[in-house]
Structure 1
């Protein structure tokens, strides 16, 4: 046996099966979607670049429409230094004179050829080694000069005027990957050095892309999710955040900021619930809402492990469907990650809290406490000032949330009649007002 080949074990198979089941909904939802992926020149020079291109090839094979935008700042700088040409920046933009433009076009052109050749290489040593991946480039970005800023003429540095979205969509419809360099072209035939981030943002906006993805060096302290409002408060924490905010405001639903140093970061971000980078969205990534009938399956999945341990009373699908209006859920990326039910007894100025459950993957993050607060507000909105709960194994948690020990006789009369003495649940009560 080849020692480099890992033996197949039940544990390995179980892990693979579990991953595939988790990824399957994302594979289905991403098929036919349009992603704009931007990576900087440092990423191209890194050892992580070839594995990244392999992962991009996988996305293409799954039917995802891809526009790739690449940067070239370090390569242009290195060529300028080698040829003793001064490197100048103003307000974060390169000052591109005639000589610098010639150097930039040469460096950018070489990178384009290198990327195209690597994509043509396919996926070596895999069943997709012979897959045909077509990569198309062209004059798809129309630009204009950035002009004079604070008295400094930026020369051949430009900004996006418009995107040839029709031309790009034609190529995407044909199954081709569109590769865009950090260059734009004017209607008078001039060339301009344009930042990759601005091109990616404008392309994602023009195409109404499903995702805009920036890959580079990421700040390890950045949170996993940011709303636009939160991102605006920390714009200086990452160079891609201003572009992410602009894209979200222009209608791009989700912008991802990924660290190239994480092996397989692109696949992890796209095919797992929590991802591996930072997600910027115009709205909250996680919502708490009234449950609907379509949530029954997710609620059953949450409750099953607790039912098996005897923590909650087993409920059938039919019962949950009848009582779904009593449930509140926390939804994350289309999946129910927490739930709880509120059964009001207005004649007793009391409501019962039941079926509080949080997915194993999201415990220890305060979601149970957040959900409890939502249900307390709901009870008070109904004019109810007391909560009660019956529990067999989570007494301490409820004590920490302000509940006090109570007696069966303190329960609403209708609930007393349903009390299961075999379970011998402890009773707790909390005053809300």
Structure 2
């Protein structure tokens, strides 16, 4: 169903922060040969082209396993695998080169398409590839000679960055070259992982046959820190495509900040994952040294210590220990090395489908680094789960920060009846309100 003009405007506005955040960043995008055979693949390429036009630096790494299998079948050649790794003899290597070359041409053609009735009209995208991956032989393992099967030895980072800085999309095939002139068949996840690590990429994005990473009960894991994911994998609690999971964990372990997994069958999945708050797949990210969680009774002392300077300055309303103990379950905190460094509370006014964001505080040594944004995002999620439509805040000194987060200045009359009766005219706090479901 087509969006109305107002819906299109709202969608465009809501994506603007993500557009600004992604501009100039480096993403490695990885998909296997199965994705290329999907009916949705042309649309994936269109969305990749859109990312390029928005200023994202892109490296695409493709696989070719099903295409290689087809060529081997034509030649009545049986596939040979050992521990899931293809044994690449000379005849198989010719099929690998044929498949990779054909797929590279297909992808380049799709990225070059600029017909007047296509989404990429006028894009003028440049696609570059070449001998940017230096490989070495996998060698003899358990008595099996893998011949022309190889692993990545080195990524030509300077060459990649030259192309990326020139505005080009770099396309890497699952093939590498040695200084002695040999060609090696590589796994595309090895190429993608090593490229992301070498480039210090901001993201690696993997395409899977499923919607992402699931736990054993079938729940899609939206956002998971690396250590938590590794523990779940070790316990056998994870269901995911092996190539995607391997690339994601190895990349994040080596310093890539974020690794995504999305479904190549879903139209617009790449844009939804990158430009909407809820995303569309699974995200594995670096471990935070800080823990964000709901406060417990044991946290009362730490919160009192945190908010005391702000209470003394008049920035926050004073709270007694007794009151804080009674309301502790309303607080969300950020803890670093056992110390509470930030907090915020959510008070519900369910009859008005409204909530109050209160007692927002960050330790003066830890301001910045988006801690306020992390707290606000968590409060927003809790408010939505509670069935609220909007959140308001009363403040005397931080109004500009709330405006930057999407709040709008309102009047006392806009407050819920219960809060309006308790409004302290002596403080003369300004009212700011955030719609959780903007029009």
**Runs of at least 5 residues in structure 2 that lack an aligned partner in the other structure:** 215-219, 295-305, 311-315, 317-344, 364-369, 388-415, 425-439
Partner of 1:309: 352
Compute the displacement of 1:130 (Å): 2.1
1:142 aligned counterpart, secondary structure? strand
Aligned CA RMSD, in angstroms, stands at 3.9
Separation of aligned partners in 2, 1:175 and 1:326: 40
Compute the displacement of 1:236 (Å): 5.9
- The reply on whether 1:325 has 2:361 as its aligned counterpart is yes
Question: What TM-score, normalized by structure 2, do the two folds share?
Answer: 0.67
- The reply on whether 1:148 has 2:140 as its aligned counterpart is yes
Partner of 2:10: 18
Partner of 1:336: 376
Separation of aligned partners in 2, 1:123 and 1:195: 34
Distance 1:324 1:276, change over 3 A: closer
Partner of 1:133: 125
Separation of aligned partners in 2, 1:332 and 1:198: 37
Partner of 1:252: 256
- The reply on whether 1:287 has 2:285 as its aligned counterpart is no
Partner of 2:79: 87
Partner of 2:282: 278
Stretch deviating more after TM superposition (144-153 or 161-170) = 144-153
Contact 2:208–2:241 (CA<8 Å) still a contact in 1? no
Contact 1:219–1:237 (CA<8 Å) still a contact in 2? no
Compute the displacement of 1:86 (Å): 1.2
Separation of aligned partners in 2, 1:185 and 1:226: 36
Partner of 2:302: none
Larger Rg: 1
Distance 1:123 1:362, change over 3 A: farther
Contact 1:139–1:184 (CA<8 Å) still a contact in 2? yes
Stretch deviating more after TM superposition (73-82 or 236-245) = 236-245
Contact 1:35–1:67 (CA<8 Å) still a contact in 2? yes
2:55 aligned counterpart, secondary structure? coil
- 1:110-259 equivalent positions in 2, closer than 5 A: 110-122=102-114, 125=117, 128-218=120-210, 221=214, 222-232=220-230, 233-234=232-233, 237-239=240-242, 240-259=244-263
- The reply on whether 1:265 has 2:265 as its aligned counterpart is no
- The reply on whether 1:56 has 2:48 as its aligned counterpart is yes
Compute the displacement of 1:361 (Å): 3.9
Instruction: Work out the number of aligned pairs and report it.
Output: 335
**Runs of at least 5 residues in structure 1 that lack an aligned partner in the other structure:** 297-301, 340-356, 365-390, 394-415, 419-433
Separation of aligned partners in 2, 1:213 and 1:286: 25
Partner of 1:350: none
Question: What TM-score, normalized by structure 1, do the two folds share?
Answer: 0.68
Distance 1:138 1:305, change over 3 A: farther
Stretch deviating more after TM superposition (113-122 or 225-234) = 225-234
Stretch deviating more after TM superposition (115-124 or 59-68) = 115-124
Separation of aligned partners in 2, 1:47 and 1:116: 17
Separation of aligned partners in 1, 2:148 and 2:373: 43
Separation of aligned partners in 1, 2:375 and 2:12: 16
Partner of 1:410: none
Distance 1:258 1:219, change over 3 A: closer
Separation of aligned partners in 2, 1:199 and 1:187: 17
Contact 1:54–1:122 (CA<8 Å) still a contact in 2? no
1:251 aligned counterpart, secondary structure? coil
Contact 2:211–2:280 (CA<8 Å) still a contact in 1? no
Compute the displacement of 1:338 (Å): 4.1
Distance 1:230 1:122, change over 3 A: farther
Separation of aligned partners in 2, 1:304 and 1:22: 26
Compute the displacement of 1:50 (Å): 0.2
